[in-house]
Structure formats: structure tokens, C-alpha cells
Structure 1
């Protein structure tokens, strides 16, 4: 019950006697909107509800069936206090789709139909997203490393700057020359320079003599030799089952059904958002629907208050931008119990609150089950948490191309989440990620009681794509400060289980870190000569000055130190971090305890920790000319003076059971048990499915 107390006004409000309005597939908008004489459309029901919701709450019941909406259902302030839900748990699907039929044979197994004007780059058949015709073809046997072409040229180091680089052209290899009649119809799907995320950019021209593709817009970074890409949207590349193409000149839709069907019915989104809830809307509930076939968001809230999005199944929608559920600003909104999967970008995005005054928005994503995000945008996360005073809790998230949760803001709470098998397509990444280049982020944030494991990472090493690669569990990047990381269990990540990248004032306490491959934790600082420090210092000063006189900010840890005052003697910067009462456990002799660089041991502290390296020597990489230290040297420098080296006595580490036996030496150091039984989703009337059946 305590999980829902913040939302009690809405929940209690809905228990009052409510007017009832009904919609059915065989209804009539000229009818009365009753159970026996229902309306036919949601818009008619909305307009009728406006006559009643000033007198009390209203419930719109939708009868079973698939409703292909002709346009976005827009709900405003005048639509407040209305609950939308299926009648008696009947199966109701809302879509933004148009259905195309009437296919005739074209050639081979390819069919064609007249479709007129289309505005989407997505096509669905029998509930599955199909591939826009592409070169090279998608490889289902090797979905991440297969199906790519590579920019030509001599590879250069990723982090080496090259003067004169452009972000809108690249050279292709001779074997990738293609006889496209209309290359301007095509788009390049590419990971430029860093393997962080991708861009999708239309082709402007091709110089076949120079083998040069010029794009109609810029990518995030220059496209360098060896960067992977494919080209999509050209008729000549429709050569495999499951591919499709739309000819904008003739309005003809071409499709090769994967099952050989002769007269298929396919769905294409015709507008971006299925439902929009606007500014001033209050206490609107969207509950229990299936929403699919959309290009932007299934449900988008902007400036709404005390709205509930619960128990929905949201799938098969979203392109490069947008979130399946987007909560933009507003306050006291709850996104709970939804199943969200196969979406183009983010599953849930949350923002809101005032950073200057630290006024919380209290927007919450709780008890959702999320998987297979980022179909098009490879930084598409499970939950994007921003703003001030918002929360992500009790969610299960897996199979994401990059982070499971990305956060940026202040006084955020990320707790009781189960995150696993993330970072499947990118590198330099983490299960949970934030950056702090403005000095303020993400101060006041709490990461507590999360279980995250198998943060994989994906990258190119020695001429081949490999996983795991270059990933962490918890990644506090680029000067992140003032974050509390307490009571988390982090298991199996390639580069390390936590990374503080020039972080300051972070508290890492009472966590369990298990089996990082290269090292267990990484603490890499900058100097005042580092290009990132020089580049971002003006932004950090501006951020600090924007809040330094605000009363709420005076209670933030070490906010009396301005950025220009943060440089330590010798030019080091990273300071104020505390790593205490943690359990660090690993078994590979080749693994290190810590990696570090540009780290002042006088201004950061490690103590009361329990370490176990399987009986092997504990090694700490110090970077630069400091080499590698053993644990005795580390203690001789004043760190971990009260820590122990001993087996923590897990219940069953081989089965990922990291509860502690009663005689664990960790308890002597003040370690407190982690409430593992509370982590992840839980049964509740809002859950779209229970038990959760992972694919």
C-alpha cells in the first residue's frame, strides 16, 4: 500500500460513483452511448464525457475489437476526471494504422498494391515489424554483427581528432557499388565514429567514380573508415522475404510476405501519436488497452497532472524519435504496470520539476515490464528519467541496445529495478548512465536496491565484432556529482561494475559488486589540462552560477565549491567520493580490483569494504607512471585501513543468489542486508500481465 500513497487522491477519487459511457465496434455515434446503445468512436465518447465530468468522474468503457483511429485522440483540460478502459477486461486494441490489402503478384514472391500516399517508414505484418528493403540484407542468424557494409579507407584511432572531417559523406568499398536508379529515395543507417548510437540520414547524391555517398544532413559525428552502415528504402534491394518498399512516385507498395501469403493485410502507421493528453488535463486514466502501430508515442502527456497510464500493452511502434509513453513536464503522474516492447526508441520517458528551486514533479514509472527497445534509435532506453524529483522503481528491463535507464536531473530516485542483458549493440556504456557536464547533474539522485546483471557491450576488436565489450554496470560519466549509490547488486560487466569518470561527491555504499572482467570498479579523473575540462568549464560555471544562491541548493553536498575552485594541487580534479561498506567479489585471476587514473588518494576515500578475489592477489591499476599496486601498497597509501579480504559467504553465487549467510564477515563491517525480495515488478491490479513471462 505504501507504494501508492503519493497517488492516493486520484485512486480514491475514482472510487466515487461515476457516469458510464460505452463504445463498441458495432456502435453508432448517433446512439445514446449506453451499454445497449454504444457509440462507435472514441471521439464521440470524449465529447459526451465533457458533458458529465464537471459533475463527477466518468468512465468510458470500450468493447472488444481493434480500433484503427483516423487521427490522434486529443484529451485536454476539459477531459479531466475521465477513465478510459476496456469493458470487463475485454481485449481492445488501439492503433494509428491504415491497413493495405489488394495485393497482386509482381515478380518472384514479391507482391504489389496501390497504397497512395504513405508517411511512415514502418510496415507490420501479422504483428511483426518487417524490413524496409535494404543492402546488405538483415541477417537473422547474426542480428547484431551481420548485415553490414563498412565505410572504405584506412582505419584511424577512434579518439584521434582529424582536421577537416565532414559529417555528411563517406566512401564505400568497390564491392558495395549498387546500380540504384533513384538513390535519393534511400537512407543510410550508420554508426558514425564512436559506437555510441546511430543516425538515419537520407542520401543526397552518389559520385560513382569517387565511390562517395553524400548525405542530405549531418550525422552526429564524422563517418570514418570501418564504420558500419546499411542503406534502406530502395526498390532494387527488395530481394528477401520480409522486405518491403513504397514507391513515392506511383504510390505502389511492394511486399514480399515471409510466409508466402498471396493476399496479405499489412499495417502502416499514418500518424505519430495515438493519444495525447495536454496541459491542464487532470486525473485522466488510460488503462488496460493494447496500443500499437504508431510512429511517435502511444501515449504522450504534456503538462498533465495526476494522470494514470496503467496495465497497457504497448508494442510495435515508434520510429527514431519519441517514447512509447512520454511524460513531458506536469506533476504527480504515474506510469505503472505496463508491458512495453518492440519500440523504435525509448519505452518510457519522464521529465518535469524545477531544477532551479528543486521543486519535485513526482512523476513515476513503476512496476513496468520493458524489453527490446531501440529498434531504430540505438540509444533508445528502457526508461529516460529527467527533471527533478521523479522516480523509476520496480521495473524490469532487458534487451536494450544501450542503457537500461538513463537519467539526468536532480533528486531523482531509481530503486528496486531488475535490469539485465542491456548494451547489446553499443560500446562505452552502462546498465544505468548519467553525465554531469553542467556541474549540477545529477546531484541529489539516489540509486538504491537495484539488481543489474550482464551489461554486455558490443564492439570491434582485432577485425571482428565481439561481446562483451567496453561496458560498465553503473556509469557516472563526465563529472557527475552528488549521487548516492546504495544497496545495489551489480553482476558481470566487461570493463567494470561501476565507473566514476571524474566524479565528485558521490557516495558508493553497501553495494555488492560481482565478477567484472577487466576490473571491478574504475575511477578515472581528469586534470585541468584535459580537453573535456577546458571545453566544459564555461558550461559548468554557468550551471553553478544559476543555482548557487538558491536556498534549496545550499543543502546539496559540497555545493559551496565552485567549478573554478575545484582544481586540486597538481592539477587533479576528482574529489569527495566515498567508497565504503561494499562487497567486491570476483574469481578470475586476470581481473583487477580497481582501475584508476588521475586520482588523488588524499581527496577520495575507501574503507570498511569486504574484498574477495578468489584467493588471488588484489591488484589496483594506478595509471600513468604509477603502474600497478598490490593491496598492501594501496593500504600503505592510507586507503581501506579497516577493510577485510575474505569470502563474503553468499548463499549461492553460482546461481546468482547473493544473499549473505548469517556468519558473513561483511556484517562485522556494518554491511546491511539488501532487500532482494522487493526488487523487480510485483503483482498488482495494474499489471498488464502476471506472472511475467520473459521471452
Structure 2
């Protein structure tokens, strides 16, 4: 009888609103109402459950902040639209403001139940709408460990290393300074830097007598590898300890006692701060087989990330919007910011990510793989502010398109992979590889028949580390790629080909105040034709030659090598160039005047 009554009530409610085409949600609503514009629901989850009952496929969310949200969408929700109302600002959080704050004379604190067993765990905290830095030791710079790895690296297709590292060689860090004496292993977490990625790990145990830390996650690379030529490759930092609470604005989570401590700035008190702690790793999860969901006009903030190793390009970092094996998903005109993980992770076919703004997040921007996917007109900046393996856009599969995106300030690669027979076009990439090495503004490994054209790559870093930065990189087993009509400005390695084949590089502009190297390491059938190399400064004569071609190639001809004033007259100014290329000096700094001077024509 009870079951019959409940079923009847559900059907009754459904009949009341079935005639509606839209369900409404408002912070002023109630879940006992019927979801009309005048009687909206209070929670998005309630609207979704009613939409499933009534087959209504549009949920409109009114202005306001919606906290502690974790929405699970599945096949029943196929065809659903989630949108804001008439340009009202809607912010959905994966966490919530913390109440019951207390002050002990130095720190503001609050109990965090479940933090000891990590059922409530986070590495990012928002105070007064701003991310505040997790306690870091040392506060500036890095610590050095003593592990050594003296084996040669090998291509990925051959297993990376001359000797396969044992689990012990990936799990035990030998430290030099006596910094772990009073550190609680339940609280401490480490960032350990490598060449093209980093290891992020908790701590299983600390042996202070032997200066050994056992990592909870095995390292992604042998500890000490690449240290001979990478100044960060034997460095690490310690996060989330009382020892790192050195600067106002710092915080740490004492998991042992389940207490959050925040070191307030001089003007901050319990009465004038709002503290938001992430609770969920995803705000929206879309399960396998779901189709044709549209999310538009909404802002997402404050998701968490489970303690785990990031892996290459930050693949393992949890995303605030996560969809697995889906089709026809459209994310349009949304904002993702101030979050503890990555922005978007989607696998499947025919998905579109459009007009999305992602900034100030701990992880990467967009991760998308499958067939016929598009990332277009997105603005991605200041990402990877905590997890340094992060990239702005990462792809895989076949026939994908990354077009007209703006990318600013990325610790590793800007665009990393895309998929076979795919297009990377009209993207603006500024300051990639600000932290790690062996990547590029645009990186492609393994995939075939990629077209990379009409992209603009720029860099303002004049430091020593800039000498390891790459514009466009075709790595192992990249075959049949076209690189044309791109501009690389102030990049030491505008092109790098490593173990790749049948690469055509033509009609590109390489403009720099630095020396340039076109690197063709172990590659074959590479054609470098009808490009402009324009050197604008003579302040680097100690770096001679200013243009170097490394490696073997079939054709390097009909390129224009142009230098300001008399740089070309320096000894060894040009190497590995045949007489079929054209060499000029010019008084011009403007590339358009230079192109007119040489009557350059695109082919």
C-alpha cells in the first residue's frame, strides 16, 4: 500500500508539470514546488530527477551560487539542456563555505570531519574569492634529494630507459636536509620534478635516521633521472605541513586531528572572510552512453582532486566536468575557474567544446579524445598553477579539430596531442613550457597526418631556460604531418622533429631576437621549404651560429634567412644550408617590410 501511494504521488506531480517545456531552479526556490518560473526548485538535482520523470529536456537555472554540487547524468538525461536564465550569473561550486570558524590568536581554524581517511580531502582553498596558497616548504625554491640515475634514456617505443627501474627505485626518496624530523607523514605531500612531468605523492613513512621517505605513489620517472642537464630534475617541495605556514594567506589541513588551519592576512578576521573548501572531484559527471547534452551559460568553481599521480600531461587529474564515452556533448559559453583539478575531460565522439573560458586552476584545461571532436574559440590561461604536468588542450583519437583557441601561461605544453588526421589551426599560444621541459607550444607524438597551420606562437622569456623551449614538436612515430603558415616568435627551437617521418615544413615565419635551431633528430624525409628566418637582434653573438640545422633531412631549400644589420657577416652565422637558400641583411625591424623587400610569396 505504501509503495502504491508513493508511486501515485510521483505520477500526480509529474502530471502537474508535464505540460511544461522548461524546469526552473532558483536559490529562492524549494524542492517541494513544481519547477515553474514562479515556483522554482531549490536544487539542480531535484530538477534533474523530475526531468527524468516528465521527459522535460530543458533546465534553466536562475542567478546565484549553488554549493556542494555533484551532478550525475546518464542515458536517461540524453538530450538535456542545462542553461542560465537570460544572461544571469550562475555559479556552481564543488564545495561550500565553511561555518563555525574559530581563532586561536594566530590561525583561523575549523574541524574538517573525514579528512583523516580522506573522504573529505582537498589541496585548494578559496578565501574571499581568491585561491590561497597551500603551505609550502620551502616557501621559495626547492629542496634537493640525493637519488641518482645514471642510465641512458631511450625512445618511448623502446621502453624509455636502458635499464627498467625497480619499484624500489621509484618509491624511495633519499633526502639531504634534515627537514622531515617533525613532519607528520599523514599530512605531507610532495611534488617531485622530472623532465617532462612531475610526481605528486603522499608519504607512507619517514625514516629520519636513514633520510628516506617512502612515497604513497610510485614516481613517474626514476628519481634523479635527467639531473645532469635539467636543474629541476633532482628537486622537490613539501606541501601541507605546519612547517610551511610561513606567510599570511597560507593554510594546511591537519588530517591527523581533522582540523583546517588558515594564517589570516593582517586585515582578515573571522567576521570578514568567506572560506570555501572543495568537496567533490567533479561537479558534473556524464556516464557512458549518454548523448546530446548541452551545458551553456554557467560558471563552475571549487572542485577537488583525489590524491593521485598526474601522469603525462596531467591525464589523471580529476576534471570539474567529466564525461566518459559520450556522444554529441556540447559545452558552450561556460567558465571554469578557481578549482583544485582540471577543467574538462571528455572521451567519445562528435563532442564540441566552444567559447569556454578556463583560468586559475590547479590542473589542465581541456582533455578530449575520440573521433570528430572540436575545441574552438576557447580562452585558457594560468592553468597548472599547482600540478606542473598540466597542459592547456590534450587530445587523441581521429579527425579532431582544435581551432582558434587562446592559450596563455602553461607550465608544460600548450596543445599536446590531437589524434590521427586532425587539425590544429589559428590558435594563439603565449608562454608555454614555463616550468617543465621536453614539450612544446604544439606537441604531437604517435599520431599521423596532422595539419598544423596558421597558428601564432610567442614567448617573452629571455632567461636561460628559454633555450630549451620548442614551438612545434613532432615526436616519435609522428608521420605525414604538414606544418605550414605558422608564426613562431622568440622561440629557440621553432621546429623539433624527433624520430618522425615525412614531415613538410613550409610557408612559416620564424622571427626571433634569439638564436634559432631547427632540430631534426633521428627523423627522415623532412622537407623544410619556403620559410622565413628573421633574426632581429645582434645581441647574442656569443651564441653563434644564429641558425642551426641539426639532423638529416632530404630537402632544405628556398628558405629566406634574413638578419638585422650585419649579423650574417659573423663567423659561423649559418650552418647546414645549401646554396638553394637565400640570405639577406636588412635595416628593417618590421616583418611586413622584410617580406615586401624579398617579394616573399606563399606557396
- Shared fold (TM-score greater than 0.5)? yes
Alignment check: 8 A CA contact 1:53 1:80 kept:
no
Answer whether contact 2:563 2:586 (CA < 8 A) is retained. Answer: no
Tell me, yes or no, if structure 1 residue 445 matches structure 2 residue 450: yes
> Deviations for 1:311-365, whole angstroms, at most 9, x for unmatched residues?
111011133xxx3111212x2211111110112221001100xxxxxxxx21111
Name the SS of the counterpart of 1:34 in structure 2: coil
Alignment pair present for 1:166 and 2:169:
yes
Q: Which residue number in structure 1 is paired with residue 334 of structure 2?
A: 312
Aligned to 1:133: 135
Structure-2 separation of matches of 1:619 and 1:488: 28
Deviation at 1:407, TM superposition (A): 0.8
Aligned to 1:336: 354
Selected match of 1:580 from 529, 532, 535: 529
- The residue that corresponds to 1:482 in the other structure is 480
Q: Give the TM-score normalised by structure 2.
A: 0.83
Q: Distance in 2 between matches of 1:362 and 1:306?
A: 10
Pick the aligned partner of 2:258 from 251, 261, 264: 251
Question: What is the RMSD computed on CA atoms of the aligned residues?
Answer: 2.9
CA distance in 1, matches of 2:418, 2:251: 38
Q: What secondary structure is seen at the aligned counterpart in 1 of 2:141?
A: coil
Residues 238 and 289 of structure 1: is their aligned pair in 2 closer, same or farther, counting only changes over 3 Å?
same
Equivalent in 361, 364, 379 of residue 346 of structure 1: 364
Task: Check whether the contact 2:79–2:291 (CA below 8 A) recurs between aligned residues.
Answer: yes
Distance 1:384 1:259, change over 3 A: farther
Counterparts of 1:113-128 in structure 2 under 5 Å? 113-117=110-114, 118-128=120-130
1:389 Cα deviation after fit: 0.6
Establish whether residue 592 from structure 1 lines up as the match of residue 542 from structure 2.
no
- Match of 1:103? 101
Asked whether 1:645 is paired with 2:583, we answer yes
Is residue 671 from structure 1 mapped to residue 585 from structure 2 by the alignment?
A: no
Deviation at 1:18, TM superposition (A): 8.7
Query: Hey, what does 2:235 align to over in structure 1?
Result: 228
TM-score where L is the length of structure 1: 0.73
Aligned residue runs from structure 1 range 199-598, under 5 A: 199-224=199-224, 227-263=234-270, 264-295=273-304, 296-319=318-341, 323-329=342-348, 331-352=349-370, 361-435=371-445, 441-454=446-459, 456=461, 466-494=464-492, 496-515=493-512, 517-525=514-522, 574-587=523-536, 588=538, 589=541, 590-592=543-545, 594-598=547-551
Deviation at 1:111, TM superposition (A): 1.7
In the alignment, structure 2 segments of 5+ residues that lack a partner are 1-18, 115-119, 154-160, 305-317
Following superposition, the deviation at residue 51 of structure 1 comes to 4.5
**Per-residue Cα deviation, 1:34-56 (whole angstroms, up to 9, x for no partner):** 111111111121123234547xx
Alpha-carbon contact 1:93-1:292 (below 8 Å) kept: yes
Alignment of 1:147 onto 2:141: yes
CA displacement 1:590-647 (0-9 Å, x = unmatched):
4535434552x5xx11222222133433899xxxxxxx7956x742xxxx62x32236
The total of aligned residue pairs comes to 544
Partner residue, 1:59: 58
Q: CA deviation at 1:245?
A: 2.1
Structure 2 residue matching 1:349: 3-state secondary structure = strand
Q: Secondary structure at the match of 1:45?
A: helix
CA positional deviation for 1:475: 1.4
Q: Deviations over 1:541-572 (max 9, x none)?
A: xxxxxxxxxxxxxxxxxxxxxxxxxxxxxxxx
Give the 3 Å change call, closer, same or farther, for CA 506–649 of structure 1 in structure 2.
farther
